[in-house]
Amino acid sequence: QVQLVESGGGSVHAGGSLTLLCVASRSVASRDCVGWFRQAPGKEREGVISISLRGGKPVYADSVKGRFTISRDNTRNRWYLEMDTLSPEDTAMYYCAAGGSVSGNCLLRTDEYSDWGQGTQVTVSA
C-alpha cells in the first residue's frame, strides 16, 4: 500500500487560487492513474480531475474545466492540483488518489483508485 499525504489546503475568497500537493510514500509507477477527488459535507465523494501515468490528457469534471489543472512529478512521486477562480461551491475536503484503472481511462470513479490520502480542507468564502 502506498501512503499519500495532501497539503496546501486553506481558506480563500471567491476568485482566489490554491495549489494542493500530494506526496506518495514510494513510487506509484505500478499504478495507472493519479487524481483528485473532493467531498463536501452531506455529499458523496466526487472526482475532480485525473491523469494517466502512461501519458494522455487529463480527465476533468465538468464543474472544474478551465479552472483546475493537474500536474505530476513522477521522479519525486508527487502531483499537484492547481485551482483558479475558486467559488464557494468548491468548498470541500480534497483527497488525492492513485490506482490501477479498471476502465483503462482513469475515470473519475472511486473504484478506479486503491490508494487514498487523508484529505486537506479547502474553504472558499463569498
Confidence check: pLDDT of 53 > 80: yes
Position with higher pLDDT, 84 vs 101: 84
pLDDT of residue 75: 81
Distance CA 73, CA 43 (A): 31
Looking up cell 495532501 gives 6
With cut-offs at 50, 70 and 90, classify the pLDDT of residue 39.
very high
pLDDT of residue 55: 83
CB distance 115 to 31 below 8 Å: yes
pLDDT of residue 100: 82
Distance CA 124, CA 13 (A): 5
**What's the first-to-final CA gap in the chain, in angstroms?**
39
Average pLDDT, the chain: 94
Confidence check: pLDDT of 60 > 80: yes
Distance CA 126, CA 56 (A): 35
3-state secondary structure at position 31: coil
